[in-house]
Amino acid sequence: MSATSAPVSENTRDLEEGKMAKTGNSQEVLKYFSLVCLTLQNALLILVMRYVRTRTGDMFMATTAVILSEVLKFSSCLLLILFQEGSLKRFLQRLHEDIFQQPLDCLKVSVPSFIYTLQNNLLYVAVSNLDAATFQVTYQLKILTTAIFSVFMLKKQLSKLQWIALLILFVGVSIVQMQPTADKKDAKEEKVTTEQNPVKGLIAVIISCVMSGFAGVYFEKILKGTNQSVWLRNVQLGMLGSVIGVITMLIKDGESVKEKGFFFGYDGVVMFLVCLQSFGGLLVAVVVKYADNILKGFATSAAIVISCIASIYFFKFQLSIQFVVGASFVMLAVYIYSRFVPAPPKGSQSA
């Protein structure tokens, strides 16, 4: 008995180690695959959004695109929950228990949902008035607003280097905004068909960053205070966001929708943009689960570089010394902020 038990236990151990190795390898692949996808999504979203808002032809209504993005987001999350539950009965039971039987809980989620919907509408205003590269760099101010709200709302502690990184970030964005504006000749080369207002675009970006910071921290606080999964919370966000988006559409573009139709100006590129915007939030959730802040910061910096290069070739964007210096500051700040995260206090590891 004892002579044969040793080989059996060794075989079992080898099998377990093999399974753990395969699991580790699959997670590594998923981690870097999700980061590549997030980098491309961050870069493509702004580039495609800029393209569809400045090209010739019929212009779609941004409020309708926001609604479709929210519908696609919560529909995808519903499918993920159905896959996790394994059966339609358990799926419906989960929705009934966690959504329909908890109206007050859904009311909490309505706050970030309302803010995210308005923010997504503001992004279209910003991209319509700022070139893609400038917008991509300026939008990183959301790191600053998120950090500030995290300190006050979640009592998070930032390291000294992170505070320095936030200062560098602010300086970098300020330098980018100080770059000389393109003249009328450059505007014609880019074939911009809508009137550009850089000040309006800058205000829209700043308000979007403030909204993004507050909503993100508020949503994080909700997630930490309950047992619901991220996917279920995204279902709540998407459903409420769709309703709020419809109200926003009726207020802003109600007459135009009645006259021209909901899908006026839509084509394959616009639908591709809707998918990019919808799946961006889901990609972030995957990256947060399988990657870390350092790699996420790298993805952000890579997206800035891709946006700048693509803007030069597709939108005739002209690099200035101010832009190069400012963008370099922003990418350095993103790296420092992600790299030097303070260690959690003792006793909090288990939490």
26-50 residues labelled b (16+ CB within 10 A) or e (exposed): eeeeebeebbebbbbbbbbbbbbbb
Instruction: Give long-range contacts, CB 8 A cutoff, 24+ apart: 294-299.
Output: 294/335, 294/338, 294/339, 295/31, 295/35, 296/35, 296/38, 296/338, 297/334, 297/335, 297/337, 297/338, 297/339, 298/35, 298/335, 298/338, 299/35, 299/38, 299/39, 299/42
Select from 242, 290, 289 the least CA-distant residue to 68.
Answer: 242
Separation of alpha carbons 209 and 142, rounded Å: 4
Cβ-based burial of 3 (10 A; exposed 0-12, middle 13-18, buried ≥19):
exposed
In the chain, the N- to C-terminal Cα span, in Å, equals: 44
Amino acid symbol at 267 = D
Other residues' Cβ atoms within 10 Å of the Cβ of residue 254: 13
pLDDT, residue 18, reads: 56
* Closest among 154, 296, 272, 288 to 234, alpha carbons compared: 288
Q: Look at residue 250 in the predicted model and tell me its pLDDT.
A: 95
Alpha helical stretches, state H, the chain:
2-54, 62-85, 88-95, 103-129, 132-138, 141-153, 160-177, 184-190, 198-225, 230-260, 268-290, 293-314, 321-339
Please report, in tens digits, the pLDDT of each residue of the chain (351 residues total). 555 555 555 555 555 555 555 555 666 777 777 778 888 888 888 899 999 988 888 899 999 999 999 999 889 989 988 998 888 888 888 888 888 877 777 788 888 889 989 999 999 999 989 888 889 899 989 888 988 998 988 888 888 888 999 999 999 998 888 776 554 444 444 455 556 788 899 999 999 999 988 988 888 788 777 777 778 888 888 888 999 999 999 999 999 999 999 999 999 999 999 998 888 767 766 666 665 555 666 777 888 888 888 888 888 888 888 888 998 999 898 888 877 777 655 544 433
Cα–Cα distance for residue pair 138/179, rounded to 1 Å: 12
